[in-house]
Structure 1
Amino acid sequence: MVSSPDHAPMPDATAGPDAPRTPHVVVVGGGIAGLAAADRLLSAGARVTLLEATDLLGGKLRAGEIEGAPVDLGAESMLARRPEAVALARSVGLGERLQPPATTSASVWSRGGLHAMPKGHVMGVPADASALAGLLSAEGVARIDGERDLRPVSVGDDVSIGEYVAERLGHEVVDRLVEPLLGGVYAGDAYRISMRAAVPQLFEALRTHDSLLDAVRAVQAKAAENPRTDAVFAGIDGGVGRLPGAVADAVRARGGDIRTQTPVLALTRTAAGWAVRTEREIVAADGVVLANPAWSAAALLAHESPAASTGLAEIEYASMALVTMAFRRAALTDLPGLPDGSGFLVPPVDGRTIKAATFSTRKWGWVDRSAPDLFVLRTSIGRYGEEERLQHEDAELVGASLRDLGAATGLAARPVATEVTRWIGGLPQYPVGHPARVARIREAVAELPALRVCGAPYDGVGIPACIASARRAADEIMATPTLARGTHRDAGE
């Protein structure tokens, strides 16, 4: 039985008896993908109920403060050269707050020294060895120069980016460049990560080039055909963690119903659509968008689509922690070891605890302006398979960060405030075969009426990719014949 008739599919109260009714779509998950899906569905004329299990919206986007300075306690920037995230921010009134980083230069802390991040690479894969002396050994540099003499190796349907690059250019390139860059995005292991999923443009170039160096140059040449002067990345004044709240406000203003602390316990097909069971009620829906983690979606689809559930359950996650610290700026004035730029990456092969340090005060103008007497930075800890490390107490993670920062830069000052944010099971992994797995999941899900999946487990973990997958899911739901016939579209659509 469906309780609370207010949430059953119902006709438009202002229309006549023969008028098409407004379809009701339930979105499960209140991260940025779920919120974006709700926004898109409302624009398409649906009535929307969004159900979020926790008491917070935004998923891995979370705004916070430290000593009065606004900071992000999750993702801190978004790719601006993809349109989805920037467009969503503008549509919910944050356009004037969009800002590029004040600096984009960074370093690599390796072999006991800080090296400027080399230019002219594709996710750490270089086009030549000219800028790698010092970061790589002389033998490592020489190995790159001989790559074109190697026999061609096909990438096939997919290949590990770490294994392929190591075979062509040597392990040093992977360990000192590719690994720290990919670790910052996926918190994963480069020797497991799918090239097709993580660096698709390089994967496609290798289909027509026998040399990896030539493939990198082809990717760079293609980008040079349409040179751009706009920023690659963008943030939001006050932090990108402001975006979920702004989208939620826009959804509510247009009639969307958002409920936090409402975990979905079961999902069942009915003659009229779907029954979505929570702890308090069963919500009837014409369509459902699952924007929750893969393991949660797997549980909900176990009965209705065992094939999709099995594929979703195979998606693994990595955990990580962010340690945000505020220092008195005066205590850092005589610190010659602090490198210029936005921070530094740390190759895991060096055995350090932190995998990156971001100098938030230098990177984001609003942090600098809001706390002129402070220097705010954050470190990240944790990669795939390192969950045990994150079980340590906050003070231990802060202490480990300070020891690594001291070894890298000479930092000896003590922070005046710290904040540790753990993201347990926060980042889905994209191992070899991930695109094929996602295709199988979507094929199985497509057999269900008016149900789709979206979010970080599928087509990319970045904010624009999550929003794009949400829009795709919403559009496909609304294109379902039974829903499309009964939709009142917004005048501007």
Structure 2
Amino acid sequence: MEGNRSHVVVVGGGIAGLAAAWHLRQGGGDVRVTVLDGAGRIGGKLHASEVAGVAVDAGAEAMLLRRPEGRDLARSVGLGEELRHPGDAQAALLVGGALRPMPRGQVMGVPSDLLALARSGVLSPAGLARVPLDQVMPATLVTTDVSVAAYVRARMGGEVVDRLIEPILGGVYAGRAEALSLDATMPRIAAVARSERSLLAAARKITAEAPKDAGPVFATLRRGMGSLPEAVAAASGAEIRTGVMVRELRRAGSGWRLVAGPVPDPEVVEADAVVVAAPAPAAGRLLAAEVPKAAAELARIEYASMAIVTLAYPRVAFPQAPAGSGYLVPPVEGRPVKAATFSSVKWPHLAEADPNLVVLRCSIGRLGEEALLQRDDAELVALAMAEAAEILGVRGLPLDSRVTRWGGSLPQYNVGHLDRVARIRAAVAAQPGLALCGAAYDGVGIPACIATARTAAARILDHLASRQSGSSVA
């Protein structure tokens, strides 16, 4: 502490860490904030770069608007005029090699409208006939957390899991429904599953209660979501240091001592409080000495890897303009590409930037598909091009391409995740001046990460205020 000025170190310069720095500076009082990140740039999985002269996100391309944290932060740091909304195009599913419309009225893949489900053609006649049996079957008691696949399969059959649930969860977590937690990944479904006998009735109840004129569900920024971290960093007033890997975190009196940099030439940083905004494995290593119970739980959070191949084609390469915003691919299809987004259709501002360009983003890799991701960039581009040619009829070569690899980037909210997070937080709560935030806890989306950052900052500010109060009394 310099005089009455407290020093807070944030470990991790992704959107959670940067948002924590911003909230710390907004919280009142004279707080000096330093953000340390081992990478060569800030932003974590939010990053945009040009493809064929158009700024396109290389990571997350949108934020959910039903949670206000992302939109509110963007406006607070001067990006309100940059907000952009998607067009009206709908997503599709690739089933049996053909694109079929996503059934209307589904809730994270759980159907609520049998007629819409039938019209979509996503399920086979046998699979479709199995779904309404949910309404007459005995209740499936859910007293503890279970996997998404176990519960939905018991109620509606395997095809709903394989062709609807899996591609949607795969798009969010790059994970598997057999392992993912119902409570953590489908909280609305889990809540009604404990009160409704029928899953179909539960899904209908959720859709009926949804706001009818709530406006757009998602938003992005004109220069991509990758422009948000820089704006937050600038607005925070924090000292931002990249290329600084924190290797050790230890108690030092009433504060903390961090050791960063290479082993032969370590740098010691003293702090009154610390926010750890690193992914779970790194957070666990830092907490191993002082909070071993939290470290052990963090080490059990599994992560999936993926890659995004972005292709820019001349519009004439498409025999007909892409319909819809893109499509998801169920794992049972056995294809390397798990999702494709027609970015210049989904986001009208990209089409306005170059009307003669079609930007296609292909997502490759799920949990357990590490061998696929070991292929070199040229091979991944070739896989994406083959997908575009086979499914969309694209002719010729792209004008430009980009491969972005996100190794170990998506935390898996497996069965028991919420209890694990509760144990982590209970252990950390016993350590004054320490807080955690990021995608590993309450949601992988941008608003959820920002919400954890705000909570972490509030905890630290409360701690600093109590220290100041104690000092003034003394």
Equivalent position of 2:468 in the other structure: 486
Equivalent position of 2:116 in the other structure: 131
Equivalent position of 1:228 in the other structure: 213
Q: CA deviation at 1:462?
A: 0.1
Partners of 2:395 and 2:150 in 1: CA distance:
39
Contact 1:238–1:366, Cα closer than 8 Å, also in 2: no
Q: CA deviation at 1:228?
A: 3.0
Q: CA deviation at 1:248?
A: 0.8
Equivalent position of 1:215 in the other structure: 202
Write the deviation string for residues 301-350 of structure 1: whole angstroms up to 9, x where unpaired.
11101100000000110000000011111222xx24x6411111111101
Q: CA deviation at 1:442?
A: 0.6
2:245 is the counterpart of 1:263: yes
Contact 1:128–1:145, Cα closer than 8 Å, also in 2: no
Equivalent position of 1:466 in the other structure: 449
Matches within 5 A, 1:321-360: 321-332=307-318, 335-336=319-320, 339-360=322-343
| Local SS of the residue matching 2:115 | coil
TM-score by length of 1: 0.91
2:410 aligned residue (418, 427, 440): 427
Equivalent position of 1:6 in the other structure: none
Write the deviation string for residues 177-235 of structure 1: whole angstroms up to 9, x where unpaired.
11111111000001111111111011111111111111111212222xx4333211001
Amino acid at match of 2:311: M
2:14 aligned residue (14, 31, 42): 31
Q: CA deviation at 1:400?
A: 1.2
Equivalent position of 1:403 in the other structure: 386
Amino acid at match of 1:157: T
Equivalent position of 2:425 in the other structure: 442
Partners of 1:157 and 1:270 in 2: CA distance:
41
2:2 is the counterpart of 1:10: yes
**Percent of aligned pairs with the same amino acid:** 52
State the number of aligned residues. Answer: 461
1:93 aligned residue (55, 68, 78): 78
Equivalent position of 1:60 in the other structure: 45
Partners of 1:355 and 1:375 in 2: CA distance:
19
Q: CA deviation at 1:104?
A: 4.1
Partners of 1:76 and 1:186 in 2: CA distance:
15
Contact 1:121–1:127, Cα closer than 8 Å, also in 2: yes
Contact 1:79–1:233, Cα closer than 8 Å, also in 2: yes
Partners of 1:67 and 1:404 in 2: CA distance:
20
Partners of 1:341 and 1:112 in 2: CA distance:
17
Partners of 1:330 and 1:405 in 2: CA distance:
14
Partners of 1:435 and 1:275 in 2: CA distance:
30
Contact 2:140–2:154, Cα closer than 8 Å, also in 1: no
| Local SS of the residue matching 1:479 | helix
TM-score by length of 2: 0.95
Partners of 1:246 and 1:484 in 2: CA distance:
31
Contact 2:344–2:351, Cα closer than 8 Å, also in 1: yes
RMSD: 1.3
Equivalent position of 2:300 in the other structure: 314
| Local SS of the residue matching 1:327 | strand
Query: Are the structure 2 counterparts of residues 86 and 150 from structure 1 closer, same or farther at C-alpha, using a change threshold of 3 Å?
Result: same
Partners of 1:475 and 1:67 in 2: CA distance:
43
Q: CA deviation at 1:485?
A: 4.7
Matches within 5 A, 1:25-424: 25-44=8-27, 45=29, 46-133=31-118, 134-223=121-210, 226-252=211-237, 256-279=238-261, 280-332=266-318, 335-336=319-320, 339-424=322-407
Amino acid at match of 1:460: G
Which stretches of structure 1, 4 residues or longer, exceed 6 Å deviation after superposition? none
